[in-house]
Structures are given as C-alpha cells and as structure tokens.
Copies of this chain bind each other. A is one copy, B any other.
Amino acid sequence: MQRLIIGVIGAGDASPSGLEKAYQVGRLIALRGAVLVCGGLGGIMEAASRGCFEAGGEVIGILPGDKAASANPFITHPIVTAMGHARNVILVQTAAALIAIEGGYGTLSEIAIARKLDKPLVLLDSWPDIDNTLTTDAPQQAVITIFSLLGRNLQP
C-alpha cells in the first residue's frame, strides 16, 4: 500500500535548460503514478515539483529548515526536518530511486549517498565521471531508465 517514491535531486541554482528538463522529469514521474520527493526548495527542486504537481502528482519536500512555509508552492507533503544538510541523507533514503539534474556540492553529496546505498540512480546533465553511473541528457530517457531499473530490482 506504500506509494512508489522517486527522488529528484538538484540545486537551487540551475540553467534554463536544467529547469525545463526538471519540469519534464517531474511531469513524467506523476504520469507514471509515482510520488516525487525532493529537497523542497527552489531551482531544480521547484521545477520538478511544479511538473509533478501540474500533472496531478504528489510532491514530498524534505525541508532543511524549521518551517513548512519555506517549501516551494508545489510541495503537497512538507516534511520539516530542521536539520540542514543532513536532510539530504533522509531524502536519498526515502527515494526508491533517484534522478540527479545538474547540481552543485549538495547534489554531489546526495549522489554519493545514493551510490553508497546502492539506490538506482541516473545522472541527467549532472556530475561527470561518477564510476559507472548511468548518464543521459534526455529527461524521458532518465525516467524510463529509472523505472526500468526498479522493475529489474524488484524481480528475483
């Protein structure tokens, strides 16, 4: 009865192309019936949240601060950690699989934790050269790959 939860990680600062791709990723996650989880703030996080929300999906925001009001307007389920960067770890653990879009050092810390925990992960225009991590520049390809990885993981 648990909903499938897909993580989108990325920074508050992003390129126009990154924001557009994040919106598409969020939209495709909603259309496949999954819940999106992200860091709940602006930039990539907000663009993906908006894409998911406008397609009818739910969006969990794992917030670093101590106020639900700090969430972007498309977060439907704000989780108030008041734990700063440590909330990155909760985000990764909560997601069944993750897509990283562009991103800075905060995103790199999440990519590293995702690899540490062996979570399915796709890098979309993100950090290069993280040993054998799947990479793409196409939002649709990223989402298809993530769901395919989850399908494979769920098989015996």
Counting every copy of the chain, the complex holds: 4
Main secondary structure of the interface of A (DSSP, over half): mixed
Are B76 and A3 closer than 8 Å at their CB atoms?
yes
Cβ of A79 < 8 Å from any Cβ of B? yes
A116 vs chain B, min Cβ distance (A): 4
Chain A interface extent, by class: 35 or more
Q: Write out the residue numbers on chain B whose beta carbons fall within 8 Å of the beta carbon of A108.
A: 108-109, 112, 115
Would A53 and B1 count as touching, CB distance under 8 A?
Answer: yes
List A residues at the B interface (Cβ < 8 Å).
1-3, 5, 35, 53, 58, 60, 62, 66, 68, 71, 73-86, 88-90, 93-94, 96, 104-106, 108-110, 112-113, 115-117, 129
